[in-house]
Every structure is written in structure tokens, then in C-alpha cells.
Structure 1
Amino acid sequence: MSDVQLLPAVREFLASPKRLFIGGQWQDAAKGRHFAVENPATAQTICQVADGDEADVDAAVAAARAAFEGPWRWETPARRGYLLFRLAELIDAHAEELAQLITLENGKPIANARGEAASAANIIRYFAGWPTKIEGSTVPVSPASGAPMLNYTLREPVGVCALIVPWNFPLTMCVWKLGPALATGCTAVLKPAEQTPLVAVRLVQLIEQAGFPAGVVNLLTGFGMRTGAPLAAHADVDKIAFTGSTQVGRLIAQAATGNMKKVSLELGGKSPNIILPDADIARAAKGAADGIFYNQGQVCTAASRLYVHEKVLDQVLDELRRHAAAHVIGSGLNSSTTLGPLVSERQLGMVSGYLQRGVEEGAELICGGKRPEHLEHGHFIEPSVFLDRAERACVAREEIFGPVLTVMSWSDVDELAQRANDSPYGLAAGLWTNDLRAAHRLAAQLKAGSVWINCWNVVDPASPFGGYKQSGWGREMSKHVIDAYTETKSVFVDLA
């Protein structure tokens, strides 16, 4: 039984219709279809949600275009900032409600979901400060004619943005993209993952309550092929921002070529985490365990490859066994739970398949590897640790997106960075050491968008986030993301 009682507001929300939001109106999908949203802890249906398709995409994009070319385009920066601040306040005021919805549809422990809701408010609050700070410049040009010339630049919103977000952080990923889109004066069509649409619906209700004009934010719930694909290819979308798998990211990039829309992609990872022999081993092992088991390993930056110096390998493995065994597996609505279910039966099947293949390919299973016997329903899997001395098994090479850690030993520091970089991905990397010189030398060698030293998964809206190689294009958050949602216009004025 769950000891976290659902709020009356959550029960009321679950009982209400979950429609699309287009042009300031909540409406059914054009074909009247719905799909079921499942609680991954029980494998039972929570409620039904509108299932949009290409006709709904056309309507949502048209509404976003009308808003962009209409009142929103000329809204003052101060007003845009105020509306974002208002939204942050509403997220704070409804934080527990949002957290419970996250746990219901995603499965993560309620403590983690509460952290996600608090983070979402902080991210929106950060971007609320940006509208009045987006500036152009004057440029001292030297025309060949010698005539006096004034040249200045303008930073203008790119236009209609398609925002396609994943299921692992269903609220955070929405605001990572909505924050800069709205701050810069763009309009948006938001498409949440079909596994986790509920918190997006509730967020858009709060956006409506905050007072954003009709059409500025539109919501499409539905599946990738029927809703996401036509949205990505739509000729009247100016920019697409996508977070998800590298495989789907390639399809997004291909779809964008029709009208050469701007694209930003935050994709997969197989992140290396390195323990040097001088590190605080207890702290490093805990950091390694947290880096892979947090959010059931369903994190693009999951610390799934652990390189441990051979002198401390046995000690680290003992610590990892202890941390894995200490996890309380169960429903996220139990306050004692530290490891919830995977998001879906499909995800459970994929992770289970990797566990089996890892053993078949010669990796040594140190702990875990099976479903918990005391949980008959839901998509649960034990936290698992492999030792792969050859570093050739699939569990050491491929993104699993589950609580599965693969440990490799090392002895030659000169080869270490090369081994860590031997991956098509480059989203994150980390290292644990008390040697300041070694820390900075390795950080410079690691090919990753984020490098964490004696920590893991530290993010902040003021700091850029993104990947090298096949982990994506562009950066989320910070001043760097403003470029992704704006165009720079150069204006010349002949003063002769």
C-alpha cells in the first residue's frame, strides 16, 4: 500500500478530460481518439488522454503562427518576463500536485518527483530574467565607399517552435524548452512523450492560468509517428527542439531538412565515470552508485561505464554491492522507496534483454540482474552491476537506460582517456580524485559536454548542457540556449 495520499486536486484532475490545447482552447483530437496512460508501478491504466494526429498538428502550428505574427510578437520584454515569473510562482504553488502526477505516470520516487517540481520552478524563474537582457549591438563598419554608415544588429525570435520532450523527466524537459522559447518571444507547440503526458497537461493549464495569450503555447498529446513526426516535418515550424534517443534524433534531423528549420538535439549517452586510486573510495563508490541508479538509470547522463583503478577494484565492487542492496524497490508513492519501476513494459523488456545478453557475452554479473520476487505487478528490476574486464560486452558499449552499471578496471592513465572516449556518445563524464593536477588534465581530455569532478549530475539553469558527437547538437539552458531560439539581423543605415 502507498503511504502518500493523492491530493484531492490530483484526483479531480485524473477524473477530468485530458484534451489538446490549441489556440487557447481545450479540445478533443480531430478524430476523437484517446489512449491510455499507465501507472508503471501497477501496470494499471490511470486515465485516458486525447490522441492527436496530423490534422491536430496543422491546427496547433497555425495557432502558434497566428500568435507569433500577432500580439505576442509585439509583447514587451518586461511583460514576457512577468508572465514567466507568474508561471514559476504557480509551479511552486502546485508543486506537490505536479510531483504526484510525475510519480503516477513515470514511477520515480516521490522525493525525486518533488525535486523535479522545485527544479522546474527555478528554471522558469531563471528564464524570466532573460527577456529584458536580449540585446543587439552597434558595429563599427568600414564600407568600401567611405560613406558614413550606421550598422546595428537585432536579436529576434526565430518563430514557431516544436518542442518534443521525453518521459524520464516529464516536467523538467518541458520547462527546459519552454523557458527559452517564451523568453525570446517565440511561440510553441509542445509534444510530451506518450508515456507521460499528464504533468504536461497540468503544466499547460498553469500556463493558461498565468495569462499567456492564446496560441503562444499549444499542447499536442499523442504518439511519435502520428503526432511527433508530422510536427517535426511541418513546413510552418521554424525550429524544433528534441530530447530523446539518438535513433529518433536522426529522424528529426532528416525531417527538418524540408524547410531547413533550426534544430537542437539532446540525445543519448554512455557516460564514463573514473575512479583514481587516490580518491575517497567510499565517497566515489556512493557517487558511482547514485550516478547510475538515480531515476532507475533512466537518465541520458547516467554514469553507466565505471573505470576503476585495479588497486581499488575489489573495494569499489564491495561498496557497489552494498549500495545496490540498500535500495528499497517499490511504488514511488511509498515514501520509503528509493528505486521505482521502469517507465513501461517495453522498457523493462529492453533492460532485461541487456542483462541476459551481458552474461552471454562474457560480463560477470556482480549483483542484481532480475525482477524483485516480492513485486508481482509493475515494471521493476533490481539495480545491477557487471564487471567486464574485456570491455566488449553490449552492456559496456550500448545505452541501456536502466539501473545497470558496467565496471572496467584500468592501470595505465595514458590509455584511460582514450578508453573513456571510445564511444559514439559524448554527453557527460566524471572522475573522482584528490589530485588537482590529474583532475584538470583528465577533464581537458574527456570528450563530453559536461564533466563532473567528485560529483555527478550537477546541473544549473545558468550553466550550458549538451553533448559532443552523437549526443546532440547545441546546448540547453544558460545564455547559450538563447542563440538557439533567436535570429541575428544586421541593419545598415546610410548616413550620407
Structure 2
Amino acid sequence: MIAPESIIPWNMPVLIMAWKTAPAIAAGNPIVLKPSAKTPLTALAIAALAKEAGMPDGVLEIVTGRGETVGRALAESRELASLSFTGSVATGKEVEKFSCGTGKRLIMELGGSDPMVVCADADMDKAVAGAVSGRFYNCGQTCTAIKRLFVADEIAEEFTAKLKTETEKITVGNGIFKGIRMGPLNSREGLAGIESALERRGTGEVISGGERLTEGAFGAGNFFEPTIVLNPDEKSPLLNEEIFGPILPVVSVDSLESAIEYANRTPFGLGASVWTKSLKNSYTFAENIDAGIVWVNRHLKIPPEVPFGGEKASGYGRENGLDALKHYTREKTVIISP
């Protein structure tokens, strides 16, 4: 038996480990998993619990280390049958390059810049709540977070006012304390990247947040205010790059068709949502948006029984659902003559 392998990121170390390991083991394979160098203890702890529960030795092997050394060695290995990778587009390209010629089957779940489109007929309060939770959950450090918000002109002013009010209710701090709704960014590099993206935004108006939090206990962490930027320039990094942090650009549009065209301009195609009471709008959006998963009147949450994956630069292959098992099995034709 030739084992598959998985390389996972730091932002969802428990959930994504489950996505990778459960279908591999259910299909009868041992698996080698490399967690992010930033969060190795989580994977090691889960593996220890699995062993304590009775999992035989060798079924789940955790390999820790940095991507440029251990990750590259796993990608280059010809002893492993397949590779499921979750991470950034840039790192994914490196994994593809090092895997080339090894014969591995790949699943690549890469970055996203998910659009959320709010139609004029949407339930406004529900859409506002969805935008706040969908963008600022986990401090915006989620591949399927809402990273661009397009709102119909007719409701843009009222919607933006409500969005600003709800965003400013978010309590930022150490997540171990009661009442905290948003924690820090993962690293100093992540914080610097958010500040840089905001500085390079062009003409967009910051209507809420926009500052690093440094007073008191905030000084020891990578805290940034939940931020809303109104109508940034269409070439702004906020609308064209994957912004992995708590900044939400809001753009008003004159039609659903305009929103779809605008949303499809990026190289990404992971997730997207439309908020509307109209089935016609829902069908139009789902058919024409470049995305591997489409939500209607919700965003971010993914049931484990449905396939998940991206299009374009956001990757290929599918995890979860029955599709996940296909990656960890092989078809073999056997013909017997009497």
C-alpha cells in the first residue's frame, strides 16, 4: 500500500486535518500529514488522541517542519501516491512544481477572494449579519471568508450604515475571555500585510476601523480594528488580492450582472454568495459566477457532506462528500476467463 499525504495550513488546524485524514483512513489508507510550522502541536495532539483511542501505529503519521524543507521533500517523494494541499496560491505553485514528474494525484485548495453580492430585494438585516460574521470570523483569516462586498445601488446607503453600526459592535481582544468576538492576526507579517494593503488601497474611504490596536494589552499582540473601506479603486489590492485579515471593501453596483462581472475579474474562484429573495437572481448568479461553491443567503459554512474546492487560481479537485473518497482510491479492472 502506498500512502497518500496532506499538507495543511495554520488557520484551521483541527478542521482541515479532519478533512484530509478522515476520508483517507476511511478508504483504507495510512496517511502522512504535515501541519503548518506555526501550528504543529494541534496535529500532534490529535494524533496522540487517535492512538489512545486505538488507532494502530503507522496509520496516521505526523511530520513536522518548515515547508521549504519538509514540505518540499514530501512533494518530491515518489513513495507517496497522492497529495492534498491547502494553502496560498504562491505556495501551491511551488508544491505543483516539486510534485511534477512524481506521478502524484493532486488536490489543490488554494486562496480565495470570495465575493458577496447583495441584491435590492435581500433581507437587509440578515445580509448585514452575514457580512459581519462572514468577513470578521477568525479575524478574516479564512480562505472562504467574504473578502469583497457588492451592494445594489438602491440599498447601498442604508446597508452600509447598518454594516458600519454592526461592525463597530465587535469586541476585539484575547479570545479566551468572555465576550470577545475577534482576536488577533496570526503573525507580525500578517499584520504588516494588512496595513500595507490598506495603505495601497487607492481612493477608497475608510468608514470604520483602519488602525492597529496598540494600547494596553493590545501592544503585545497583532491586533487590528475591523475595517470597512467604501468604494476602493477597482485596481485596489483590496479587490484583487487575497486579503487575509479584517478589512472589508464595499462597492455599490447598478445591477446583478454588473456585480457578477466585477466579481469575476480576479484570478480567484473559491466561493461566492448572493443574498436575494428571488430564485431567478439565485440561478443567474450560480450559473455565471466563477466559484467552486456558491451560497444563497449564507456564506462561509460548509456542510461536510458536500464537495468543496475551487476554480481558476483557487485550485482544483474536491474534498468532502463522496468526492473526497475518490482521491484516496484507485480503479482497477480485473478480467477473469474460466
> Does 1:347 find its partner at 2:190?
yes
> Does 1:160 find its partner at 2:3?
yes
| Letter in structure 2 aligned against 1:197 | P
Query: Counterpart of 1:370?
Result: 211
The count of residues paired between Structure 1 and Structure 2 equals: 336
Query: Counterpart of 2:12?
Result: 169
Checking the alignment, whether the CA contact within 8 Å between 2:232 and 2:249 is kept in structure 1 is no
Offset at residue 265 of structure 1 (A): 0.8
Checking the alignment, whether the CA contact within 8 Å between 2:76 and 2:98 is kept in structure 1 is yes
1:385-421, CA deviations, whole angstroms, 9 ceiling, x for partnerless residues? Answer: 1112542211111101101111111113333322221
| Letter in structure 2 aligned against 1:186 | N
| Letter in structure 2 aligned against 1:444 | E
> Does 1:445 find its partner at 2:292?
no
Checking the alignment, whether the CA contact within 8 Å between 1:348 and 1:379 is kept in structure 2 is yes
CA distance in 1, matches of 2:285, 2:325: 30
Checking the alignment, whether the CA contact within 8 Å between 1:269 and 1:471 is kept in structure 2 is yes
CA distance in 1, matches of 2:236, 2:3: 44
| Letter in structure 1 aligned against 2:24 | A
Match of 1:434, SS?
A: coil
2:245 to 402, 422, 426: 402
Change in 2 beyond 3 A, CA 1:198/1:389: closer
Further displaced range: 462-471 or 366-375: 366-375
Identity %: 36
What is the TM-score with the length of structure 1 in the denominator?
0.66
Offset at residue 280 of structure 1 (A): 1.3
Offset at residue 250 of structure 1 (A): 0.9
> Does 1:288 find its partner at 2:134?
no
Query: Counterpart of 1:76?
Result: none
Unaligned runs of 5+ in 2: none
Checking the alignment, whether the CA contact within 8 Å between 2:78 and 2:103 is kept in structure 1 is no
> Does 1:199 find its partner at 2:42?
yes
Query: Counterpart of 2:94?
Result: 251
Checking the alignment, whether the CA contact within 8 Å between 1:174 and 1:200 is kept in structure 2 is yes
1:334-389, CA deviations, whole angstroms, 9 ceiling, x for partnerless residues? Answer: 1211000111111111111111111xx22211211111243211111111111125
Change in 2 beyond 3 A, CA 1:304/1:230: same
Query: Counterpart of 2:304?
Result: 461
Checking the alignment, whether the CA contact within 8 Å between 2:232 and 2:238 is kept in structure 1 is no
Match of 1:486, SS?
A: coil
Q: CA RMSD in A?
A: 1.2
CA distance in 1, matches of 2:177, 2:22: 32
Checking the alignment, whether the CA contact within 8 Å between 2:141 and 2:245 is kept in structure 1 is yes
Query: Counterpart of 2:224?
Result: 381
Checking the alignment, whether the CA contact within 8 Å between 1:452 and 1:458 is kept in structure 2 is no
Checking the alignment, whether the CA contact within 8 Å between 1:309 and 1:410 is kept in structure 2 is yes
Offset at residue 273 of structure 1 (A): 0.4
CA distance in 2, matches of 1:413, 1:248: 34
1:444-463, CA deviations, whole angstroms, 9 ceiling, x for partnerless residues? Answer: 21121111111111211111
CA distance in 2, matches of 1:392, 1:310: 20
Checking the alignment, whether the CA contact within 8 Å between 2:203 and 2:232 is kept in structure 1 is no
Unaligned runs of 5+ in 1: 1-67, 69-158
> Does 1:306 find its partner at 2:149?
yes
Query: Counterpart of 1:478?
Result: 321
| Letter in structure 1 aligned against 2:98 | A
CA distance in 2, matches of 1:414, 1:190: 42
Match of 1:201, SS?
A: helix
Match of 1:263, SS?
A: strand
Query: Counterpart of 1:356?
Result: 199
1:189 to 32, 39, 60: 32
CA distance in 2, matches of 1:406, 1:349: 18
CA distance in 2, matches of 1:389, 1:382: 18
Q: Based on CA coordinates, which of the two structures has the bigger radius of gyration?
A: 1
CA distance in 2, matches of 1:347, 1:186: 36
CA distance in 1, matches of 2:285, 2:143: 22
Checking the alignment, whether the CA contact within 8 Å between 1:389 and 1:409 is kept in structure 2 is no
CA distance in 1, matches of 2:232, 2:102: 48
1:142-198, CA deviations, whole angstroms, 9 ceiling, x for partnerless residues? Answer: xxxxxxxxxxxxxxxxx3112111111011111100001101111111111111111
Q: How does 1:37-436 map to 2 (within 5 A)?
A: 68=1, 159-358=2-201, 361-374=202-215, 375-388=218-231, 390-436=233-279
CA distance in 1, matches of 2:281, 2:62: 48
| Letter in structure 2 aligned against 1:470 | A
CA distance in 2, matches of 1:416, 1:344: 33
1:441-489, CA deviations, whole angstroms, 9 ceiling, x for partnerless residues? Answer: 2112112111111111121111111111111110111001111111100
What is the TM-score with the length of structure 2 in the denominator?
0.96
